[in-house]
Amino acid sequence: MRLFLLVFLSLPYLFFGQQEDPNYAGKALAFQQAYNTSNYVAIFNMFDINMKQALPLNKTREFFTNNVKQQMGNIQQMRFLELRNGGHVYRTNFDKAVTDILISLDASLSINGLYIYPPQPLDAPVIERNSTPMKLPFDDKWYVFWGGITEEDNYHVAYENQKYAYDFLILNDGVSFNESPKQNENYFAFGKEIKAPCNARVVKVIDGVEDNVPGVLNSVDVTGNTVILKTDNDEFLLFAHLKNGSILVETGQDIYEGDVIGLCGNSGNSTEPHLHLSLQNTEDFPLTIGGKLFFDAILVNGEIERDYLPKKGEYISNSN
């Protein structure tokens, strides 16, 4: 399945609380009925003028026919989930898959934003947290820039395929680099060894993505140079933004706790050298659902913690 994206335009309206607006409930029901009856003219007529220009009727019909219905079937249920980015998110059960659909309405109740998140197969396993004991995948003391189970501590929580992911970097005296911030080599994390946190098998490797100039994003190769490991308990660990040319493992290889898999880099959708690490329920990053990743025994701000999930703002290192 591919990533389904329509249009998400300017959203001037902010919502507070997590109650479903009745106007949205009515629009979601109308959308579901029109979609299930293949009445794409009705869906097109729900759009505001900007949506109609961005997605003309022929494109609307093509998108829903060839991309959505062909791959996922009809909608069985749309259930209000949460408010996000100025719109309402509905957990949507199709015949063949489950996904989230974000709908945004303007003041006249026309749809001015519609985003269909990557779908999940109906039989996709759910991983609430890891059962495999884990060490931190690096030596020395690192800083948790994003981590935790709330959006305040961890912006990844808002995205199913990155839910509970970490961004780790190294700080000295509160800063992550020396001298010029435009050179990767000046960042303390750049080039540091990234190690396997447990015994696992390598199931995916992406290499050859150039490291960014700090501050410049590569939004095409999102995870950059990447390694994905699979544990004996069918858990998938994604290591992203590794240094170009530094990966030492290959697909199908069995590796052991402490083995070096590559070096920390600044490739992909990354503004500065850091490690993005996440626990996934499947190998496929766009279609995965993230889980909570706990570490067996680590030092957190100098104090030992066991079976611990690090949070934003903490300094962490392995206890031995």
More confident residue, 147 or 9: 147
Task: Examine residue 136 and state whether it is found in any structural domain, yes or no.
Answer: no
pTM: 0.70
∠ CA 178-258-150 to the nearest 5 degrees?
65
> Residue 243 in contact with residue 212, Cβ under 8 Å?
no
| Residue 17: per-residue pLDDT | 42
Residues 242 and 300 in one domain: yes
Residue 299: both structure tokens together: 């030092």
Q: How confident is the model at residue 219 (pLDDT cuts 50, 70, 90)?
A: confident
Task: Examine residue 46 and state whether it is found in any structural domain, yes or no.
Answer: yes
Residues 78 and 175 in one domain: no
Residues 166 and 277 in one domain: yes
> Residue 279 in contact with residue 236, Cβ under 8 Å?
yes
Give DSSP secondary structure letters for 117-181: PPPEETT----SB--S----SSSS-EEEEE-SSSTTT-GGGGSGGGTT-EEEE--BTTBSBSS-T
Task: Examine residue 78 and state whether it is found in any structural domain, yes or no.
Answer: yes
Residues 159 and 281 in one domain: yes
| Residue 121: per-residue pLDDT | 66
Q: How many domains does the chain have?
A: 2
Using the predicted structure, report yes or no on whether residue 182 has a pLDDT greater than 70. yes
Residues 111 and 59 in one domain: yes
Q: How confident is the model at residue 96 (pLDDT cuts 50, 70, 90)?
A: confident
Residues 169 and 289 in one domain: yes
Interstrand relation of 315-318 and 142-146 (parallel, antiparallel or unpaired): antiparallel
Residue 12: both structure tokens together: 């001037």
More confident residue, 287 or 31: 31
Task: Examine residue 137 and state whether it is found in any structural domain, yes or no.
Answer: no
Residues 156 and 241 in one domain: yes
Residues 269 and 150 in one domain: yes
Question: Which one-letter amino acid corresponds to residue 239?
Answer: F
| Residue 141: per-residue pLDDT | 97
What digits encode the pLDDT tens for the residues 264-301?
999 999 999 999 999 999 887 766 889 999 999 999 99
CB burial of residue 127 (10 Å; 0-12, 13-18, 19+): buried
b/e for 247-280, b at 16 or more Cβ within 10 A?
Answer: bebeeeeebeeebebbbbbbbbbbebbbbbbbbb
Please say which residue of 68, 86, 121 terminates a domain.
Answer: 121
Task: Examine residue 219 and state whether it is found in any structural domain, yes or no.
Answer: yes
What digits encode the pLDDT tens for the residues 117-163?
877 666 778 899 999 999 999 999 999 999 999 999 999 998 878 89
Residues 44 and 93 in one domain: yes
| Residue 222 belongs to domain spanning | 142-318
Task: Examine residue 295 and state whether it is found in any structural domain, yes or no.
Answer: yes
Residues 146 and 88 in one domain: no
Q: Which helix (H) or strand (E) holds 81?
A: strand 75-84
∠ CA 58-61-62 to the nearest 5 degrees?
85
Residues 309 and 219 in one domain: yes
Task: Examine residue 133 and state whether it is found in any structural domain, yes or no.
Answer: no
Q: What is the CATH number of the domain that holds 79?
A: 3.10.450
Residues 263 and 312 in one domain: yes
Q: What is the CATH number of the domain that holds 147?
A: 2.70.70.10
Residue 37: both structure tokens together: 């009856």
Using the predicted structure, report yes or no on whether residue 11 has a pLDDT greater than 50. no
Please say which residue of 69, 86, 121 terminates a domain.
Answer: 121
Using the predicted structure, report yes or no on whether residue 10 has a pLDDT greater than 60. no
Task: Examine residue 254 and state whether it is found in any structural domain, yes or no.
Answer: yes
Percent of the residues in the chain that have a pLDDT greater than 90, as a whole number: 76
DSSP type of residue 198? S
Residue 1: both structure tokens together: 């399945």
